[in-house]
A and B are shown apart, each in its own frame.
Chain A
Amino acid sequence: MAKIHPIQPLPPPEDQEPSLDLHERAMDNLRFIRDTMERAGSFTALSGWGLVVIGVAGVLGSWVATRQTSPENWLATWSSAAVVSVLVGVLTTAMKARTARMPMLSGAGRKFMLSLAPPLVAGALLTIFLFRAGMVGLLPGMWMLLYGAGIITAGAFSVSAVPVMGLCFMVFGAGALMSPAAWADGWMAASFGALHVIFGTYIARRHGG
């Protein structure tokens, strides 16, 4: 049998070895950088100024809500305030993550959103069914409790001010459930308004925007 030899010698093995090795090392370096960043990165991309804007929306919302005569309009007011707040929150956080050149949807940011979303969805569903059952008076306390719970768990992946804000929301929610229904909009202004403004200002000052 004739053996087939390449006419030109193939590149010597040492030419191949370092290249594969280099590739392995490059992959390893990238993994190391990514792991370090994920471990080190608490989610400071959460925008403090965004929270302030949400707080202002909360104060305006309670001002409009107290002027509503029917429970339907009252709920519509707070629902629109909630939608506006979620949009403002996502938008300002995306902007801050972009300026800080940090990815929003990987690592800590993704964990933050995945932890915050379930209580918000639960709150939205409970709102519909409690409202239909005529238990409108329970809504503000339930919103604060669930939002606070979400912020505490999500805040585990963020700067320490965030879980503290969540705790305040839960305390306010408990207060709202225990006090007369007429105070509801006052509690809403104090929590979704004032708490957001206070903690938003703190985060903006301490964690850059």
Chain B
Amino acid sequence: MGEANRAIDRPSSVLRSVAGAAQDGAPELDRLIHERVRLGIVSALAVNRSLSFNELKSMLGLTDGNLSVHARKLEEAGYVECTKSFEGRTPRTDFVLTDSGRASLEAYLNHMEALIQAVRDR
């Protein structure tokens, strides 16, 4: 009886543990990258050596304010680095994904894969 019950229960417990890891194990990581705008910024930077503020803005369809708020959060977490310079007289901001930013995107992708795998194994 107990055996059968455990058999039914197992997949969802796997799921719960995966979900738990996402929530409890690394709460900071999840909240930071999970948010759509920030996930977009990190994903776009993962395939480009550097992107300017305007490039990111048009690529992700964001407003100035929205992008700067989320970019600052990622910068504070050390996931992206930003350099400010001048192009003639117009200020220019460039963003680069740091190693820890890349690692956290990979961790996030692994979480998502584990979630999907857990449902598939059922």
* Chain A interfacial positions (CB closer than 8 Å to B): 7-8, 10-11, 15-16, 18-20, 22-23, 26-27, 29-30, 32-33, 36-37, 39-42, 44, 101-102, 207-208
Contact = CB atoms under 8 A, between A and B. Distances in A.
Interface size class of B (residues with CB under 8 A): 20 to 34
Contact of B44 (A30, A36, A208): A36
A8 B5 contact: yes
A13 to B, nearest CB: 11
A29 B12 contact: no
Contacts of B112: 26-27, 29-30
The main secondary structure of chain B at its interface with chain A is helix
B87 to A, nearest CB: 15
A39 B59 contact: yes
Interface string B50-72: 01000000011000000000000
B40 A8 contact: no
B65 to A, nearest CB: 20
Given A37-B44, A37-B46, A22 B9 contact: no
A36 B48 contact: no
A23 B39 contact: no
Contacts of B77: none
Interface of B: 1, 4-5, 8-9, 11-12, 15-16, 19, 34, 36, 39-40, 43-49, 51, 59-60, 102, 105, 109, 111-113, 115-116, 118-119
B47 A102 contact: yes
Nearest to A19: B15
A37 B47 contact: yes
A208 B116 CA distance: 35
Q: Which 9 A-B pairs have the closest CB atoms?
A: A41-B47, A40-B44, A26-B115, A36-B43, A23-B119, A26-B112, A19-B15, A33-B43, A37-B47
